[in-house]
Chain A
């Protein structure tokens, strides 16, 4: 119970303050500005058909090392109704922009190491034959399963006439066993106004972005395909306060029998400018 309160406290009161796109799963080629630190939470709640409602909490620290290199640390936990709350592991990801100039399609290479347990409910991606069965076990049992995985993504994205279009191809490998697993995420988004208004405003169209994400598994190298895995369709909306926090929310609908029927994601983020410079000044 104390763990659960702590997790809710972390999720709801973290001093989150940044503007990024409305996606939760799909990445674009937008990198973190060098020296900036973004602090964010991405939370998800859902209820598998034969399990209890869960609340997955991910705290995200994203830092721009270079204009072409962004690194990110995720700390993950979850709480399940009628069960327990626990820390489920961490991920360390790095994104590299492959081409120095903007093109009609822009590739970014993503490399991640994750060390999580079987009770993880963050659902940052869907790979292999992931399904709602993976979301319904008892935490005490599921946490025994250790997952040390390497993950690579090819991120392709474009900005066309105000639209952002992104496609991600995911390959994941448990370092000890299990075959290569694959997944995908595609998304399209657009701000509600393309030109900025001359006044400072909080609730104006330019601060809102809407989008649509489609993501799911692609099986393994032995059983490649769209079948027997979960797929989700998720409209999404974000609201960025100027020089303040950014909020986003996305209801996701499972479109196969393996998917959870409904997932609700919500997140808050805040960008702290030039953290590296502030640190150096203090020293």
Chain B
């Protein structure tokens, strides 16, 4: 029982410590400029858009909604902000997530799949 208490104390300290050192700047302000200028290798390709839609339904829709309309948990992606954002900026957000605000990193998806999602997101109206 003592060891369980020690484990709990260690966890509380780690969780508190990590929270304290998190980067507090807004997400888009943390983005390196060279990332924003990256181009999408699948831009405007219909097969990539369909693949992106499929991946979106699998990976993103539980938080952002089936039509990317947003839910109480995550914002709408069928929005002006996403339409106006550069493909490189969206790709950067997918890769890094926003851990402080609950958006996980999707770096485990291979790069082509993340670009396919970007292709789909840019078609949303």
A residues sitting closer than 8 Å to B (CB atoms) are 21, 28, 30-31, 33-36, 64, 66-69, 92, 94, 96-98, 100-102, 109, 111-113, 115, 148-150, 159, 161-162, 164, 175, 191, 194-200, 206, 242-243, 273-274, 277
Q: Identify the closest chain A residue to B42 (Cβ).
A: A195
Q: Cα distance A273–B61 when bound, in Å?
A: 10
| Central interface residue in A66, A164, A242, by most chain B CB within 10 Å | A66
Q: Is the CB of A164 within 8 A of B108?
A: yes
Contact (Cβ within 8 A) B30 A101: yes
**Interface contact B110-A191, CB-CB below 8 Å:** yes
A196 close to B30 (CB less than 8 A): no
- A162 and B11: CB pair below 8 A? no
CA gap between A195 and B63 in the complex, in Å = 23
Structural contact, B54 and A200, CB atoms closer than 8 A: yes
B70 contacts chain A at the CB level, 8 A cutoff: no
- In the bound complex, do residue B7 and residue A67 qualify as a contact, i.e. CB atoms below 8 Å apart? no
Whether B58 pairs with A69 at a CB distance below 8 angstroms is: no
Q: In the complex the two chains form, what is the Cα distance from A196 to B48 in whole Å?
A: 8
Question: Is B28 at the interface (CB under 8 A from chain A)?
Answer: no
**Interface positions of B (Cβ within 8 A of A):** 2-4, 6-7, 10-11, 14-15, 18, 22-23, 30, 47-48, 50-52, 54-55, 58, 62-63, 73, 95-105, 107-108, 110-113, 116
Give the top 6 A-B pairs by smallest Cβ distance, nearest first.
A198-B50, A195-B112, A273-B62, A194-B110, A175-B3, A113-B7
What chain A residues lie within 8 Å of B99 (beta carbons)?
Answer: 66-68, 97, 100
Closest to B62 in A: A273
A67 CA to B7 CA in the complex, in Å?
21
Q: How far apart sit A55 and B91, CA to CA, in the bound complex (Å)?
A: 44
Set of chain A residues within 8 Å of B10, measured between Cβ atoms: 111
Are the C-beta atoms of B22 and A100 separated by less than 8 Å? Answer: yes
> Complex formed: what's the CA distance from A150 to B14 in Å?
15
A30 → B minimal CB distance (Å): 5
Q: Which residues of B contact A69 (CB under 8 A)?
A: 15, 18
Please measure, in the bound complex, the distance between the C-alpha atom of A243 and the C-alpha atom of B100, giving whole angstroms: 27
Instruction: For residue A260, give the distance in angstroms from its CB to the closest CB of chain B.
Output: 29
Contact for A67 among B102, B111, B113, CB less than 8 A: B102
B122 to chain A minimum Cβ distance, whole angstroms, is 16
CB distance from A174 to the nearest CB of B (A): 9
Say how far A150's CB is from chain B's closest CB, in angstroms. 6
In the complex, are the beta carbons of B116 and A195 less than 8 A apart? yes
Instruction: Tell me the minimal C-beta distance from A159 to chain B in angstroms.
Output: 5
By a CB distance below 8 angstroms, the chain B residues around A31 are 104-105
For the complex, what is the distance from the CA of A101 to the CA of B99, rounded to whole Å?
Answer: 8
Would you call B96 and A68 a contact (CB within 8 A)?
no
> Closest CB of chain A to B110's CB: distance in Å?
4
Minimum distance in angstroms from A281 CB to a CB of chain B? 10
Q: How far is the CA of A194 from the CA of B114 in the complex (A)?
A: 10
- Contact between B113 and A109, CB atoms less than 8 A apart: no
Determine which of B22, B58, B102 lies in contact with A243 in the assembled complex, contact meaning CB atoms within 8 Å: B58
Which residues of B have CB within 8 Å of A101? 23, 30, 96
